């Protein structure tokens, strides 16, 4: 089975790749920031499963959310629809898709783009995961994990800033997420939307 991971050098992508490498029946392909659209086209063409994990979650310029979350997703959607081969797209979205911020809006637009794929071609499968805060190995403090940030700060005697002590965090351990992803590869099902 040919599997494409977009964003394979990121936190979730690196963990997914590590798990898949341990299983000899997967051929892993990668697409990352800086790669050409021709490479994306080539990799999508040969892939059976596409894990679309690439995107922008922090930026100085909000335009990057639109470009790297929605525009890239739109390109992937078009390439899947132009393919003659059945594919299963697994997209990592966020619970912030329900919020009124530039990041959440760009992810929601990407979700809607992907949900249109099976309406246009019923042979294509789409799974969307709305992820809460994911933590675990290879997460970066002050970037993609509040748990990593707290651990880093405590270990280095750096003060922790809690702006809302009453806020409850939803957290998901990376290995639990990866196990769900891998189980999803092998399950035959209709298109699904997963809000973890």
Lowest mean pLDDT among 33-47, 58-72, 73-87, 115-129: 58-72
Mean pLDDT of the region 74-84:
95
Question: Can you read off the two tokens belonging to residue 24?
Answer: 């000899």
Name the pairing type of β-strands 49-52 and 2-6: parallel
| Number of Cβ within a 10 Å radius of residue 54 | 24
The set of residues, in sequence order, having a beta carbon less than 8 Å from that of 142 and lying 6+ positions away, is 149, 152
Record the pTM.
Answer: 0.91
pLDDT in tens, 134-160: 999 999 888 878 898 899 999 999 999
Selection from 185, 169, 80 nearest residue 131 by Cα: 169
Name the pairing type of β-strands 27-31 and 2-6: parallel
Catalytic residue among 26, 31, 103, 129: 103
CA distance 6 to 51: 6
Question: Can you read off the two tokens belonging to residue 106?
Answer: 């760009």
pLDDT, residue 194, reads 65
pLDDT in tens, 168-187: 889 999 999 999 999 998 76
| 143 catalytic per annotation | no
């Amino acid at each position: 089975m040919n599997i494409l991971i977009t964003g394979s050098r990121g936190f979730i992508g690196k963990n997914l790749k590590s798990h898949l490498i341990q299983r000899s029946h997967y051929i892993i392909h990668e697409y990352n920031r800086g790669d050409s659209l021709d490479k994306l086209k080539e990799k999508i063409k040969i892939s059976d499963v596409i894990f679309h994990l690439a995107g922008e979650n922090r930026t100085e310029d909000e335009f990057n959310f639109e470009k790297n979350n929605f525009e890239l997703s739109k390109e992937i959607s078009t390439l899947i629809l132009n393919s003659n081969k059945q594919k299963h797209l697994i997209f990592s979205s966020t619970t912030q898709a329900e919020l009124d911020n530039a990041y959440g809006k760009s992810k929601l637009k990407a979700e809607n783009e992907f949900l249109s794929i099976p309406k246009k071609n019923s042979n294509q499968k789409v799974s969307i995961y709305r992820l809460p805060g994911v933590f675990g190995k290879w997460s970066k403090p002050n970037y993609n994990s509040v748990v990593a940030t707290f651990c880093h700060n405590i270990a280095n005697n750096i003060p922790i800033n809690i702006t809302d002590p009453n806020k409850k965090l939803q957290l998901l351990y990376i290995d639990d997420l990866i196990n769900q992803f891998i189980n999803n590869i092998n399950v035959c099902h209709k298109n699904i939307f997963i809000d973890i």
